[in-house]
Amino acid sequence: MTLLEIQDLNVGVDSREIIRGLDLMVNAGEVHAIMGPNGSGKSTLSHVIAGKPGYEVTGGHILFRGEDLLEMEPNERAAKGVFLAFQYPVEIPGVTTMNFLRTALNAQRKARGRGELSTPEFLKKVREVAGSLNITRDMLKRGVNVGFSGGEKKRNEVLQMALFEPSLCILDEIDSGLDIDALRIVASGINGLRSPERAMIVITHYQRLLHYIVPDYVHVMSKGRVVKSGSKELALELEACGYAQFETAA
């Protein structure tokens, strides 16, 4: 089943074109890697899918399960099962991670017509997943991402993803700032969420992450477009030859 269909997408910021005629099709069960040099528009693409304000879609369509995603508010998109793990997770002082997770999870469940989890059910679920990601109880009591290291922030994003059970997960440079041990933990958490009903878009600058999260498809973005698509071998080719070969093609 096709989950996400992007056709001829054009996006601008402050009347500057950033995404320029991008096409992408993602089916349930698939993991797509999007690679590309800095500034090629990877984060912009993820923000536009999630509905972050500040971008102007000047052309094209984004369909999610056949519905016009661009017509939906960000929270509606989340309720439909779209989840974005940000490249730079925001800090929310004054709201503990635990409270944030609980509020967000219950809002999502409500939007999907499911009841709230009881406190024991919720705690059991959070502790189980947090444990598998090496997230301590102390971290859960702290303000969201406040004083978290880069790796802790990324693990916290994966924790949210595991709890919200999205059908489309977009992971924007989830590997940035992670040492090798943290990378393994994060990748194993993500791999555990792969399923035939769920699709993932893994955005990364480096091939390294794709040794751990092996994608079904790899796309290269350059200057706001997908300039090449292929299987996981394409990532190896990129590692060997770099992005320069695609710069002229864009």
Tell me which stretch binds ligand ADP (CB under 6 A): 13-21, 96-104, 181-189, 237-245: 13-21
- 235: helix, strand or coil: helix
Give 47 or 102: the residue with its C-beta nearer to Mg ion: 47
Residue 59: name the closest of 97, 116, 20 by CA. Answer: 20
If you write DSSP's letter for every residue of 20-46 in order, what string do you get?
A: EEEEEEEETT-EEEEE--TTSSHHHHH
Q: Contact between 38 and ligand ADP (CB under 6 A)?
A: yes
Instruction: Pick what 36 binds: ligand ADP, Mg ion, none; C-beta below 5 to 8 Å, kind-dependent.
Output: ligand ADP
Of the CA atoms within 13 Å of residue 246, those in its CB half-sphere come to: 21
According to the binding rule CB under 6 A, does residue 209 interact with ligand ADP?
Answer: no
State the Cα–Cα distance between residues 186 and 124, nearest whole angstrom. 20
Q: Does 222 bind ligand ADP (CB under 6 A)?
A: no
Compute the least distance from the CB of residue 43 to ligand ADP, in Å: 3
In angstroms, what is the minimal distance from the CB of 128 to Mg ion?
31
Q: 168-172 and 199-204: which strand pairing?
A: parallel
Q: Which two tokens stand for residue 61?
A: 């369509």
Show the binding pattern over residues 42-81: x = contacts ligand ADP (CB under 6 A), - = does not: xxx---------x---------------------------
Query: Per the structure block, which two tokens stand in for 54?
Result: 């500040």
In the complex, what is the shortest distance from the CB of residue 203 to ligand ADP, in angstroms, rounded to a whole number? Answer: 7
Cβ-based nearer residue to Mg ion, 139 or 183: 183
CB of 78 or CB of 84, closer to Mg ion: 84
Stretch that binds ligand ADP, among 34-42, 78-86, 121-129, 134-142 (CB under 6 A): 34-42
* 12 close to 18: Cβ distance less than 8 angstroms: yes
The DSSP H or E segment spanning 245 is helix 244-247
Please say which residue, 42 or 154, places its beta carbon nearer to ligand ADP.
42
The answer to whether 61 touches 70, Cβ cutoff 8 Å, is yes
* Chain positions contacting ligand ADP, by CB under 6 A: 13-14, 18, 36, 38-44, 54
